[in-house]
Amino acid sequence: MLSSKKKYIVNGNSGIKAQIQFADQKQEFNKRPTKIGRRSLSRSISQSSTDSYSSAASYTDSSDDETSPRDKQQKNSKGSSDFCVKNIKQAEFGRREIEIAEQEMPALMALRKRAQGEKPLAGAKIVGCTHITAQTAVLMETLGALGAQCRWAACNIYSTLNEVAAALAESGFPVFAWKGESEDDFWWCIDRCVNVEGWQPNMILDDGGDLTHWIYKKYPNMFKKIKGIVEESVTGVHRLYQLSKAGKLCVPAMNVNDSVTKQKFDNLYCCRESILDGLKRTTDMMFGGKQVVVCGYGEVGKGCCAALKAMGSIVYVTEIDPICALQACMDGFRLVKLNEVIRQVDIVITCTGNKNVVTREHLDRMKNSCIVCNMGHSNTEIDVASLRTPELTWERVRSQVDHVIWPDGKRIVLLAEGRLLNLSCSTVPTFVLSITATTQALALIELYNAPEGRYKQDVYLLPKKMDEYVASLHLPTFDAHLTELTDEQAKYLGLNKNGPFKPNYYRY
């Protein structure tokens, strides 16, 4: 495959001063292109909207790759044009993907069946900003079946499956997303979801905090009618706690990220499988004997380390938290500072939720052909912006894979331009996402139906009973049989026979 070489020219950026300042918003929120047009930015920097080489890439019709979805006039079979997707003609293909996902999402389908008659979300107007995949489509259609009206945008410019977005638009969901959006497209899509004549959201489902930030910044009066926010990422939850601490959180918010069913299943088990999938699809590499440094040993880091160790890799860990650091040591990993191993490792993986974990200094010192990728939600962990300089050459070798070449010929392999590897470059296990999606749906139902006064303008964890309920809905898949407490045992432990079985402070 012939690859084209190109030089990046640094252009002036104009900052848009936000009303709400977040600690890590420099890269995400403040930088806007001023000298590069919308279409040229998409092609010169991401190019993902025109690449369909990778097996992980979404189905695309190459005949219209050159045209931005914003420049197209599309209608679904019902005559509606309230959406913006890559190609509405891909809807049938996307519908088959959604049907496959439904088979691996038993709890969400059970919730849809049990609550459909009651319509617990009747009257809810949910605006969402998440990854748009087949699994998210099952969640959206479940919310619709429970009575909600939904409008949706993507939280990641690379993770949208175009055919799934088309299927949702064909079904009547106002979806504004496509794979390979530019930064300008990204914010335009969010605005199209929010700024609608005659329709105002009363619930927010967010993944990363961008949607919440946009409403705070552009439409703060909307919070007068919004009942609550449900947030599922480390980054987004961090921003919510910042708002709460500053006294600027206007509505109750549910922290799904720190629920047991999200932390212990999505973050751990999902990443344990998808890290290998993402690396293999993009690089075709052999893991045995490779030296890998994983930055961060939270649940995501634990999953990545376990998978790579099982494949025969030599794994190092960096950590700031002594407790997580001790866990890494007890699990058999060597705890290091990044500077100590950066010259020798073959792969660098970030999963901290922080910013500038891998700096230009680190990138300069990496060995030739070192692979650099991110498994955290935000694209701030790797200082990709520092690589867009005249002396470095970027070479696109396949979808979501760039060689960044130094003047002396050294190159690193950068995956997904530092964005979330698994959802940008591969797929994730549907069953695990069923757990997270069911948790999100129950959190929305809880906040929407909660009597006034139950939740104040603060950030809350999901009730323990709800976590246990989500887990119980998934057990029949394994033909698993729970042991029941006797009356005597329940009295001895001071528990209700039906749960919750652990106190809120219990660490699973």
Q: Which residues are annotated as a binding site for substrate?
A: 133, 207, 232, 262, 266
**CB environment 142-160: b (16+ within 10 A), e (fewer):** bbbbbbbbbbbbbbbbbbb
- What does the buried/exposed string (b/e) look like for 35-52 if buried means 16 or more CB atoms within 10 Å of the residue's CB? ebebbebbbebbbbbebb
Q: How far apart are CA 94 and CA 84, in angstroms?
A: 15
| Percent of residues in the chain assigned helix, strand, coil, to nearest 5 | 45, 15, 40
User: CB of 470 within 8 A of CB of 105?
Assistant: no
Bond into 500 cis (ω within 30): yes
Handedness of CA 131, 48, 1, 401 (dihedral sign): negative
DSSP SS3 for 32: strand
* Residue from 206, 144, 161 nearest 57 by CA: 161
Q: What is the number of other CB atoms lying within 10 angstroms of the CB of residue 191?
A: 16
Q: Which residues pair with 498 in a beta bridge?
A: none
On whether the CB atoms of residues 93 and 171 are closer than 8 A, the answer is: no
- Known binding-site positions: 133, 207, 232, 262, 266, 298-303, 319, 422
CA 234, 238, 242 angle in degrees (round to 5)?
175
Angstrom distance (rounded) from CA 109 to CA 126: 19
Query: What is the C-alpha separation between 489 and 9, in angstroms, rounded?
Result: 70
Indicate the annotated binding residues for NAD(+). 298-303, 319, 422
* Ranges of H-type helices in 264-359: 271-283, 299-310, 322-330, 338-341
Which residues, other chains included, contact 81 with Cβ-Cβ below 8 Å and sequence gap of 6+? 73, 74, 75
Helices (H), 284-429: 299-310, 322-330, 338-341, 360-365, 421-425
Backbone angle region of 337, left / alpha / beta, with phi > 0 → left and psi within -120 to 50 → alpha: beta
Spatial contact of 157 and 419, defined as CB atoms under 8 Å apart: yes
- Quick one: tokens of 507? 């660490």
What residues contact residue 123 under an 8 Å CB cut-off, 6+ apart? 147, 202
Q: Within 13 Å of residue 172, how many CA atoms lie on the same side as its CB?
A: 6
- What letter represents residue 441's amino acid? A
User: Helix 134-145 and helix 162-170: axis angle, to 10°?
Assistant: 20
